[in-house]
Protein backbone atom coordinates (compact mmCIF):
# COMPACT_ATOMS: atom_id res chain seq x y z
CA UNK A 1 0.00 0.00 0.00
CA UNK A 2 2.80 2.41 0.85
CA UNK A 3 4.56 1.78 -2.48
CA UNK A 4 1.36 2.36 -4.45
CA UNK A 5 0.62 5.54 -2.51
CA UNK A 6 4.12 6.87 -3.13
CA UNK A 7 3.86 6.34 -6.89
CA UNK A 8 0.46 8.03 -6.96
CA UNK A 9 1.75 11.08 -5.11
CA UNK A 10 4.78 11.34 -7.37
CA UNK A 11 2.78 11.46 -10.56
CA UNK A 12 0.36 13.91 -9.00
CA UNK A 13 3.09 16.54 -9.41
CA UNK A 14 3.20 17.82 -13.00
CA UNK A 15 6.95 18.48 -12.76
CA UNK A 16 7.68 14.73 -12.62
CA UNK A 17 7.49 13.34 -16.14
CA UNK A 18 8.80 9.81 -15.65
CA UNK A 19 10.01 7.34 -13.05
CA UNK A 20 11.57 3.97 -13.83
CA UNK A 21 14.18 1.48 -12.70
CA UNK A 22 17.35 1.30 -14.77
CA UNK A 23 18.45 -1.77 -12.82
CA UNK A 24 15.61 -3.75 -11.24
CA UNK A 25 16.73 -7.33 -10.76
CA UNK A 26 19.82 -9.05 -12.03
CA UNK A 27 22.95 -11.06 -11.28
CA UNK A 28 24.18 -8.92 -8.36
CA UNK A 29 21.97 -8.22 -5.33
CA UNK A 30 23.38 -4.92 -4.05
CA UNK A 31 23.96 -1.57 -5.80
CA UNK A 32 25.00 1.90 -4.70
CA UNK A 33 26.42 5.25 -5.83
CA UNK A 34 24.72 6.00 -9.14
CA UNK A 35 25.91 8.51 -11.73
CA UNK A 36 24.35 9.79 -14.97
CA UNK A 37 25.59 11.81 -17.95
CA UNK A 38 24.40 13.03 -21.34
CA UNK A 39 26.64 12.10 -24.30
CA UNK A 40 26.22 12.99 -27.99
CA UNK A 41 24.63 9.56 -28.48
CA UNK A 42 22.35 9.60 -25.42
CA UNK A 43 22.17 9.08 -21.68
CA UNK A 44 24.58 6.80 -19.83
CA UNK A 45 24.37 5.71 -16.19
CA UNK A 46 26.71 3.76 -13.92
CA UNK A 47 26.92 2.44 -10.36
CA UNK A 48 28.83 -0.11 -8.32
CA UNK A 49 27.28 -3.51 -7.71
CA UNK A 50 28.06 -6.87 -6.12
CA UNK A 51 27.19 -8.91 -3.05
CA UNK A 52 27.57 -5.90 -0.73
CA UNK A 53 29.52 -2.64 -0.48
CA UNK A 54 33.20 -3.21 0.43
CA UNK A 55 33.22 -6.81 -0.82
CA UNK A 56 35.96 -7.64 -3.35
CA UNK A 57 33.42 -8.73 -5.99
CA UNK A 58 31.95 -5.21 -6.27
CA UNK A 59 32.44 -3.87 -9.81
CA UNK A 60 31.43 -0.80 -11.83
CA UNK A 61 28.46 -1.40 -14.14
CA UNK A 62 27.28 0.79 -17.03
CA UNK A 63 23.92 1.05 -18.80
CA UNK A 64 22.95 3.16 -21.84
CA UNK A 65 19.58 4.56 -22.89
CA UNK A 66 18.99 3.25 -26.41
CA UNK A 67 15.72 3.81 -28.29
CA UNK A 68 13.96 4.70 -25.06
CA UNK A 69 15.13 1.61 -23.14
CA UNK A 70 18.05 1.07 -20.79
CA UNK A 71 20.46 -1.65 -21.86
CA UNK A 72 21.44 -4.52 -19.61
CA UNK A 73 24.19 -3.33 -17.29
CA UNK A 74 27.70 -4.30 -18.35
CA UNK A 75 30.68 -4.76 -16.04
CA UNK A 76 33.04 -1.97 -17.07
CA UNK A 77 35.67 -1.87 -14.30
CA UNK A 78 36.77 -4.10 -11.46
CA UNK A 79 39.43 -4.28 -8.77
CA UNK A 80 41.38 -7.29 -10.03
CA UNK A 81 45.11 -6.66 -9.60
CA UNK A 82 48.09 -7.92 -11.58
CA UNK A 83 49.07 -10.31 -8.78
CA UNK A 84 45.61 -11.91 -8.81
CA UNK A 85 44.34 -10.18 -5.68
CA UNK A 86 41.08 -8.29 -5.84
CA UNK A 87 39.65 -5.15 -4.24
CA UNK A 88 36.20 -3.58 -4.35
CA UNK A 89 35.47 -0.64 -6.63
CA UNK A 90 33.60 2.48 -5.48
CA UNK A 91 31.75 5.65 -6.46
CA UNK A 92 31.78 5.84 -10.26
CA UNK A 93 31.45 9.31 -11.79
CA UNK A 94 30.63 9.80 -15.47
CA UNK A 95 31.65 13.05 -17.16
CA UNK A 96 31.37 14.22 -20.76
CA UNK A 97 33.97 16.89 -21.60
CA UNK A 98 33.43 19.16 -24.59
CA UNK A 99 34.69 17.65 -27.86
CA UNK A 100 36.41 14.77 -26.08
CA UNK A 101 35.76 11.14 -25.11
CA UNK A 102 33.41 10.26 -22.28
CA UNK A 103 35.22 9.80 -18.96
CA UNK A 104 34.47 7.31 -16.17
CA UNK A 105 36.19 7.96 -12.85
CA UNK A 106 36.07 5.44 -9.98
CA UNK A 107 37.97 4.29 -6.92
CA UNK A 108 39.68 0.96 -6.17
CA UNK A 109 40.80 -0.32 -2.77
CA UNK A 110 39.76 -1.90 0.52
CA UNK A 111 38.28 1.28 2.07
CA UNK A 112 37.85 5.05 1.53
CA UNK A 113 41.02 5.75 3.51
CA UNK A 114 43.11 3.32 1.41
CA UNK A 115 41.58 3.48 -2.08
CA UNK A 116 43.13 5.08 -5.17
CA UNK A 117 41.66 6.70 -8.26
CA UNK A 118 41.39 5.28 -11.78
CA UNK A 119 39.58 6.34 -14.93
CA UNK A 120 38.61 5.02 -18.34
CA UNK A 121 37.46 6.75 -21.51
CA UNK A 122 34.94 5.89 -24.21
CA UNK A 123 34.89 7.25 -27.77
CA UNK A 124 31.48 5.75 -28.57
CA UNK A 125 29.19 6.96 -25.80
CA UNK A 126 29.86 4.13 -23.36
CA UNK A 127 29.67 1.15 -25.72
CA UNK A 128 33.35 0.33 -25.32
CA UNK A 129 36.02 1.54 -22.94
CA UNK A 130 39.76 2.07 -22.80
CA UNK A 131 42.05 0.26 -20.41
CA UNK A 132 42.08 1.65 -16.88
CA UNK A 133 44.48 4.50 -16.15
CA UNK A 134 45.63 4.94 -12.57
CA UNK A 135 45.57 8.52 -11.35
CA UNK A 136 48.75 9.99 -9.81
CA UNK A 137 49.37 9.47 -6.11
CA UNK A 138 47.30 11.95 -4.11
CA UNK A 139 44.82 12.48 -6.98
CA UNK A 140 41.49 10.67 -6.80
CA UNK A 141 39.28 12.38 -9.38
CA UNK A 142 35.72 13.40 -8.48
CA UNK A 143 34.98 11.51 -5.27
CA UNK A 144 31.23 11.05 -5.83
CA UNK A 145 29.74 13.94 -7.82
CA UNK A 146 30.38 15.20 -11.33
CA UNK A 147 33.10 17.70 -12.28
CA UNK A 148 32.42 20.97 -14.10
CA UNK A 149 34.27 22.19 -17.17
CA UNK A 150 35.19 25.84 -16.83
CA UNK A 151 35.17 28.42 -19.62
CA UNK A 152 38.93 27.99 -20.15
CA UNK A 153 38.46 24.22 -20.64
CA UNK A 154 39.81 23.16 -17.24
CA UNK A 155 37.95 20.28 -15.61
CA UNK A 156 37.41 20.99 -11.91
CA UNK A 157 36.75 17.90 -9.81
CA UNK A 158 35.05 18.08 -6.39
CA UNK A 159 36.72 15.64 -4.05
CA UNK A 160 37.42 14.87 -0.40
CA UNK A 161 39.57 12.94 2.03
CA UNK A 162 38.79 10.44 4.81
CA UNK A 163 41.63 9.55 7.17
CA UNK A 164 42.34 6.46 9.30
CA UNK A 165 42.35 8.55 12.48
CA UNK A 166 39.66 8.15 15.10
CA UNK A 167 37.62 10.19 14.71
CA UNK A 168 38.32 10.21 10.98
CA UNK A 169 39.04 13.66 9.53
CA UNK A 170 36.70 14.41 6.62
CA UNK A 171 37.84 17.34 4.50
CA UNK A 172 37.03 18.59 1.01
CA UNK A 173 39.38 19.90 -1.67
CA UNK A 174 39.41 20.30 -5.45
CA UNK A 175 41.46 18.80 -8.27
CA UNK A 176 42.01 20.31 -11.71
CA UNK A 177 43.15 19.03 -15.09
CA UNK A 178 43.57 21.11 -18.23
CA UNK A 179 44.49 18.20 -20.51
CA UNK A 180 41.77 15.58 -19.96
CA UNK A 181 43.49 13.81 -17.10
CA UNK A 182 47.09 13.71 -18.31
CA UNK A 183 48.32 16.14 -15.64
CA UNK A 184 46.73 17.39 -12.43
CA UNK A 185 46.92 20.05 -9.76
CA UNK A 186 44.96 20.27 -6.52
CA UNK A 187 44.17 22.57 -3.65
CA UNK A 188 45.17 21.78 -0.11
CA UNK A 189 42.52 20.44 2.27
CA UNK A 190 40.19 23.38 2.86
CA UNK A 191 39.41 22.84 6.57
CA UNK A 192 40.53 20.73 9.50
CA UNK A 193 37.99 17.96 8.88
CA UNK A 194 36.88 17.87 12.52
CA UNK A 195 34.96 21.01 13.40
CA UNK A 196 33.16 20.46 10.11
CA UNK A 197 33.61 16.94 8.79
CA UNK A 198 32.63 17.26 5.13
CA UNK A 199 32.96 15.05 2.05
CA UNK A 200 31.51 14.57 -1.43
CA UNK A 201 30.99 18.17 -2.65
CA UNK A 202 28.98 19.26 -5.69
CA UNK A 203 29.88 22.41 -7.63
CA UNK A 204 27.39 25.18 -8.48
CA UNK A 205 28.06 27.97 -10.98
CA UNK A 206 27.22 31.42 -9.61
CA UNK A 207 28.33 33.46 -12.63
CA UNK A 208 31.75 34.54 -13.86
CA UNK A 209 34.49 32.92 -11.79
CA UNK A 210 32.30 32.53 -8.72
CA UNK A 211 31.54 28.97 -7.62
CA UNK A 212 29.84 27.38 -4.65
CA UNK A 213 30.16 23.83 -3.36
CA UNK A 214 27.62 22.03 -1.19
CA UNK A 215 27.54 18.54 0.27
CA UNK A 216 27.51 16.06 3.09
CA UNK A 217 28.74 16.44 6.68
CA UNK A 218 28.96 14.66 10.01
CA UNK A 219 27.38 17.69 11.70
CA UNK A 220 23.80 17.01 10.61
CA UNK A 221 23.68 19.86 8.07
CA UNK A 222 24.54 20.43 4.41
CA UNK A 223 27.77 22.45 4.09
CA UNK A 224 28.54 25.33 1.75
CA UNK A 225 31.75 27.00 0.62
CA UNK A 226 32.44 29.55 -2.14
CA UNK A 227 35.23 30.56 -4.50
CA UNK A 228 35.67 33.85 -6.37
CA UNK A 229 38.48 32.69 -8.66
CA UNK A 230 37.15 29.60 -10.48
CA UNK A 231 38.09 27.20 -7.70
CA UNK A 232 41.72 28.15 -7.16
CA UNK A 233 41.04 29.40 -3.64
CA UNK A 234 38.03 28.99 -1.37
CA UNK A 235 36.59 30.83 1.62
CA UNK A 236 35.65 29.37 5.01
CA UNK A 237 33.37 26.34 5.08
CA UNK A 238 30.04 26.77 6.88
CA UNK A 239 26.83 24.90 7.59
CA UNK A 240 23.47 25.68 5.98
CA UNK A 241 20.05 25.27 7.62
CA UNK A 242 19.34 22.16 5.55
CA UNK A 243 19.50 18.85 7.45
CA UNK A 244 21.82 16.09 6.33
CA UNK A 245 21.95 12.61 7.90
CA UNK A 246 25.58 12.04 6.86
CA UNK A 247 24.37 10.88 3.45
CA UNK A 248 25.39 11.80 -0.09
CA UNK A 249 23.87 14.75 -1.92
CA UNK A 250 24.17 16.21 -5.41
CA UNK A 251 23.43 19.56 -7.01
CA UNK A 252 23.34 21.24 -10.42
CA UNK A 253 23.06 24.75 -11.83
CA UNK A 254 20.34 25.01 -14.47
CA UNK A 255 20.63 26.88 -17.75
CA UNK A 256 18.22 29.52 -16.36
CA UNK A 257 20.57 30.19 -13.42
CA UNK A 258 18.59 28.41 -10.71
CA UNK A 259 20.22 25.72 -8.59
CA UNK A 260 18.81 22.31 -7.66
CA UNK A 261 19.89 20.26 -4.64
CA UNK A 262 18.84 16.64 -4.15
CA UNK A 263 19.36 15.20 -0.67
CA UNK A 264 17.76 13.43 2.28
CA UNK A 265 15.94 16.19 4.17
CA UNK A 266 16.18 14.52 7.56
CA UNK A 267 18.51 14.42 10.54
CA UNK A 268 18.56 10.62 10.64
CA UNK A 269 18.06 7.86 8.13
CA UNK A 270 18.03 8.05 4.35
CA UNK A 271 14.35 8.71 3.72
CA UNK A 272 12.77 10.95 2.50
CA UNK A 273 14.65 11.95 -0.66
CA UNK A 274 13.99 15.60 -1.54
CA UNK A 275 14.61 18.29 -4.15
CA UNK A 276 15.24 21.91 -3.15
CA UNK A 277 15.57 24.97 -5.40
CA UNK A 278 17.52 28.20 -4.98
CA UNK A 279 17.84 31.30 -7.12
CA UNK A 280 21.16 32.45 -5.67
CA UNK A 281 22.42 29.38 -3.74
CA UNK A 282 21.88 31.28 -0.48
CA UNK A 283 18.40 30.23 0.62
CA UNK A 284 16.62 27.09 -0.52
CA UNK A 285 12.93 26.35 -1.10
CA UNK A 286 11.16 23.00 -1.00
CA UNK A 287 10.17 21.55 -4.37
CA UNK A 288 9.65 17.77 -4.51
CA UNK A 289 9.70 14.63 -2.38
CA UNK A 290 10.68 11.62 -4.49
CA UNK A 291 10.53 8.90 -1.85
CA UNK A 292 9.17 8.85 1.68
CA UNK A 293 9.01 5.50 3.44
CA UNK A 294 10.25 5.23 7.04
CA UNK A 295 13.22 2.94 7.68
CA UNK A 296 13.90 2.55 3.95
CA UNK A 297 16.97 3.86 2.12
CA UNK A 298 16.83 6.19 -0.90
CA UNK A 299 20.25 7.69 -1.22
CA UNK A 300 23.38 8.76 -3.11
CA UNK A 301 21.59 10.71 -5.85
CA UNK A 302 23.03 12.16 -9.03
CA UNK A 303 21.43 15.05 -10.94
CA UNK A 304 22.05 16.63 -14.38
CA UNK A 305 20.25 18.87 -16.86
CA UNK A 306 20.23 17.68 -20.47
CA UNK A 307 20.33 19.83 -23.60
CA UNK A 308 16.53 19.66 -23.96
CA UNK A 309 16.18 21.42 -20.60
CA UNK A 310 14.91 18.41 -18.66
CA UNK A 311 16.48 17.24 -15.40
CA UNK A 312 17.52 13.62 -14.92
CA UNK A 313 18.06 12.09 -11.50
CA UNK A 314 19.32 8.66 -10.49
CA UNK A 315 19.63 7.22 -6.99
CA UNK A 316 20.09 4.11 -4.91
CA UNK A 317 16.72 2.49 -4.21
CA UNK A 318 17.02 0.43 -1.01
CA UNK A 319 20.50 -0.75 -2.04
CA UNK A 320 18.78 -3.07 -4.53
CA UNK A 321 17.82 -1.03 -7.59
CA UNK A 322 18.78 2.03 -9.63
CA UNK A 323 15.91 4.53 -9.89
CA UNK A 324 15.67 7.15 -12.67
CA UNK A 325 13.39 10.18 -12.51
CA UNK A 326 12.82 12.82 -15.19
CA UNK A 327 11.75 16.31 -14.06
CA UNK A 328 10.62 19.35 -16.03
CA UNK A 329 12.18 22.24 -14.07
CA UNK A 330 9.84 24.79 -15.66
CA UNK A 331 6.94 23.12 -13.84
CA UNK A 332 8.49 23.12 -10.37
CA UNK A 333 6.49 24.86 -7.66
CA UNK A 334 8.32 25.77 -4.48
CA UNK A 335 7.53 26.66 -0.89
CA UNK A 336 9.78 28.51 1.58
CA UNK A 337 11.56 26.56 4.29
CA UNK A 338 11.77 28.26 7.69
CA UNK A 339 14.91 27.31 9.63
CA UNK A 340 15.45 24.37 7.31
CA UNK A 341 12.08 22.75 8.04
CA UNK A 342 10.29 21.10 5.12
CA UNK A 343 6.83 22.69 4.72
Residue 80: pLDDT above 90? yes
Residue 106 in any domain: the answer is: yes
Can you give the pLDDT at residue 167?
A: 85
Can you give the pLDDT at residue 282?
A: 84
Could you tell me the CATH number of the domain that includes residue 278? 2.120.10.10
Residue 328 in any domain: the answer is: no
Percent of the chain clearing pLDDT 90 (strictly above): 94
What value does the CA radius of gyration of the chain take, rounded to a whole number of Å?
A: 19
Query: Which domain does 156 fall in, by range?
Result: 2-323
Residue 116: pLDDT above 90? yes
Residue 120 in any domain: the answer is: yes
- Total domain count for the chain? 1
**Hey, is 106 helix, strand or coil?**
strand
**Is 308:256 a contact under the CB 8 Å cutoff?**
no
What gap in Å lies between CA 65 and CA 46, rounded to an integer?
11
Q: For residue 47, count CB atoms less than 10 angstroms from its CB and return exposed for 0-12, middle for 13-18, buried for 19 or more.
A: buried
Residue 335 in any domain: the answer is: no
The secondary structure of 149-192, three-state, reads ECCCCCEEEEEEEECCCCCCCEEEEEEEECCCCCCCEECCCCCC
Nearest to 311 by CA among 287, 328, 288: 328
Q: Over the stretch 293-302, which tens digit does the pLDDT of each residue have? A: 999 999 999 9
Residue 337 in any domain: the answer is: no
Residue 233 in any domain: the answer is: yes
Can you give the pLDDT at residue 164?
A: 86
Residue 332 in any domain: the answer is: no
Q: Over the stretch 19-60, which tens digit does the pLDDT of each residue have? A: 999 999 999 999 999 999 999 999 999 999 999 999 999 999
Residue 336 in any domain: the answer is: no
**Strand order across the 148-149 sheet:** 148-149, 155-162, 170-177, 185-186
Q: For residue 250, count CB atoms less than 10 angstroms from its CB and return exposed for 0-12, middle for 13-18, buried for 19 or more.
A: buried
Amino acid sequence: MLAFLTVTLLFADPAILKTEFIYDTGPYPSIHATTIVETPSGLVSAWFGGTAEKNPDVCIYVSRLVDGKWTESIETANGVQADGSRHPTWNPVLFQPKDAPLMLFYKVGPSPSTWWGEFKTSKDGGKSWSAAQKLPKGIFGPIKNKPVQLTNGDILCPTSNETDEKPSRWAIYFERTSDLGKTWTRTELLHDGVQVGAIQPSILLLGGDKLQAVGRTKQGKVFQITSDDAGKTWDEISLTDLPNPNSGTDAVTLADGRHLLIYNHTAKGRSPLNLAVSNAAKSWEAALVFEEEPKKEFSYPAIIQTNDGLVHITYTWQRKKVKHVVVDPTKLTTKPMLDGKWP
